[in-house]
Amino acid sequence: MIMNKTLLVMPLILLSISSVSSNDDEIIGQTPGCMMSDYTLADKSDYVLPFPIGKEYTVTQGNCGLHTHRSEYNLRFSYDFPIPIGGDITAVRNGEVINLDEQFPNDTNDHSQTNWIGIKHEDGTIAVYLHLNTKGVFVEIGDEVKQGEIIGISGSSGYTEYRPHLHFHITEKEHDTCQLSLHEQPNTSKYSLKGCKTIPITFKNAEPQDTPPIQGKIYKAVTF
C-alpha cells in the first residue's frame, strides 16, 4: 500500500514542476533547495516588483530554477518574468546606476551580448536587470533612481533562448571577485556572471504576497 501511495504522489510532483501558466509561458522545473533560505517576509521587504503598478506576470523561473538559476551560475536567487519586448521595467529600490549596456541586438542567444542595468543600493547590494531591449535603457551611469521609476524596457538580448523576458536578481556587495561596476571588454557585455553571489529577496507590493514568490504563479504589482 505504501508503494501505491508513492506512485499516486509522483505524478502530482511532476505536474507541479512542469505546469504552464495561463498565458502559455513555459514554466521551468524548480528544486525545493531555496525554500529554507533566509527570506524577509514579503510585507517587510525593501523591494518592489520590477514592473509598473497594475501589471502582472508569471514567475516563469524562480529561485533554484533547474534550468539556469543554479549555484554554479551564481544565479540561485533569481526571478524570470515574461515581460514582452518593449514592456516597462522599474527600479526595485532607490539607488545609483553603476553600469549598463544597451547596444546589443535581440535574439543572438549569446551571454556576451546582454543588455542590462546594474543599480547599487545604499547597503551596497546591487540590483541586476538582464535581457533589455536594444537602446532600451533610460538611465545613465551615475544617475540616482527612485523605487518604482521606469529605467528601461524588456527585450530578448543575451541568452534568452529566443524568449523575451526580464531576468532579475540582487547580488551581494562588491568585493575582490565581484566587480560589476568595473568589468570591461570591447564588444562584449560588461555584465559577468562570475564572482557575485545572488541573495534571497521578496517583494512588498506583490499580490499575492508569498515568501518567496512561487514559480509558475502570477503576481500583480500593487501600490506600495
Determine the Cα–Cα distance for residues 64 and 71; give it in Å rounded to an integer.
Answer: 8
Q: What pLDDT is attached to residue 12?
A: 30
Q: What pLDDT is attached to residue 185?
A: 65
Q: What pLDDT is attached to residue 73?
A: 61
Q: What pLDDT is attached to residue 178?
A: 81
C-alpha cell at 72: 554554479
C-alpha closest to that of 129 among 176, 170, 185, 161? 170
Q: What pLDDT is attached to residue 65?
A: 81
For 5-23, how does the pLDDT look when each residue is reduced to its tens digit (9 = 90+)?
A: 433 333 333 333 333 333 4
Q: What is the CATH number of the domain that holds 210?
A: 2.70.70.10
Give me the DSSP letters along 11-67.
HHHHHHTS-B-TT-PBPPPB-SGGGGS-PPPGGG-S---SS-TT-EEE-SB-TTBSS
> What is the domain count for the chain?
1
For 127-172, how does the pLDDT look when each residue is reduced to its tens digit (9 = 90+)?
A: 999 999 999 999 999 999 999 999 999 999 999 999 999 999 999 9
For 175-184, how does the pLDDT look when each residue is reduced to its tens digit (9 = 90+)?
A: 887 877 666 6
**Structural domain harbouring 128:** 2-221
State the chain's mean pLDDT as an integer: 84
For 178-206, how does the pLDDT look when each residue is reduced to its tens digit (9 = 90+)?
A: 877 666 666 778 776 567 889 999 999 99
Determine the Cα–Cα distance for residues 174 and 120; give it in Å rounded to an integer.
Answer: 10
Q: What pLDDT is attached to residue 139?
A: 98
Does position 60 have pLDDT exceeding 80, yes or no? yes
Q: pLDDT above 70 covers what percent of the chain?
A: 78
Does position 122 have pLDDT exceeding 70, yes or no? yes
